[in-house]
Amino acid sequence: MSAQLSVNLNKVALVRNSRGRGVPDLCDAVDTVLAAGAHGITLHPRLDQRHVRFDDVPRVAQHLRAAHPGVELNIECEDAPSLLDLVLRVAPEQCTLVPVSPGEVTSDHGWNLPPDRVRLTRAVSRLRDAGIRTSCFADCDPDGVAAFADVGVDRLELYTGPYAWAWGGPDQRAQTDLVHRTAARATDVGIALNAGHDLDRHNLLGLVGLPGLREVSIGHALITRALDVGLATAVQELLAALKPPPSPAP
């Protein structure tokens, strides 16, 4: 079974915010990507609300439940109290906790354990008590995976930036091996996997068959590709890239 595709709508929101009005509409984008075959929706609100705004989150959640019952909503956020309160009010199927550094352009690193253990354990506990599946953003590091099991997290979202940037270059093999070794270690300690950051229709090839991979979250590459081929086709290309190759004929 291939991994599920969760479409991140942040860049749709960013385009909307640039004009200060309601176009493009996030719920219209939800309808389009789900009709094209996407399995879930990801929103990543930040405290500065530079793309997805706080009021987008309940609106998209309500639209999913009314028009697309059973489709998973994944909310990514840092562990700021106001953001966790928002997640608990909306009650998505999954919350992915992502560390934030001041001034960062985008998420560019995983949680640092053991230094972040206390705060992360506190946040994971609140979410799990509310029945929300928890995932934590993690660097590809086989030696660091086991520490997340002690936090009580259900899944890890592997930060695939270095892997994606290496694709097609001399470091591709080494970075791909690192991702696979990290995944194998996560499976050993009983943690399922998601993956995200700069994944596209090309580099997804190296993740097909990755042990324990349940979901990939893709936004930026999807929207940039959609400028050429349209949103629905861009989704379908990603879905095709996630499928395992056919078995050879006997």
Q: How far apart are CA 28 and CA 41, in angstroms?
A: 12
What number of other Cβ atoms are within 10 A of residue 19's Cβ?
Answer: 9
Q: Catalytic residue among 39, 44, 51, 180, which?
A: 44
Q: How far apart are CA 204 and CA 242, in angstroms?
A: 6
Q: What is the residue-wise DSSP string for 151-175?
A: HT-SEEEEE-HHHHHHTTSTTHHHH
109 is catalytic: no
Q: Are 184 and 142 in contact (CB under 8 A)?
A: yes
Residue type, 196: G
197 is catalytic: yes
Q: Catalytic residue among 39, 51, 63, 76, which?
A: 76
Q: How far apart are CA 52 and CA 54, in angstroms?
A: 7
Q: What is the DSSP letter of 105?
A: S
68 is catalytic: no
Q: How far apart are CA 36 and CA 239, in angstroms?
A: 9
Q: Catalytic residue among 63, 157, 197, 215, which?
A: 197
Element (H, E) at 134: strand 133-138
Residue type, 46: R
Catalytic residue numbers read 44, 76, 197
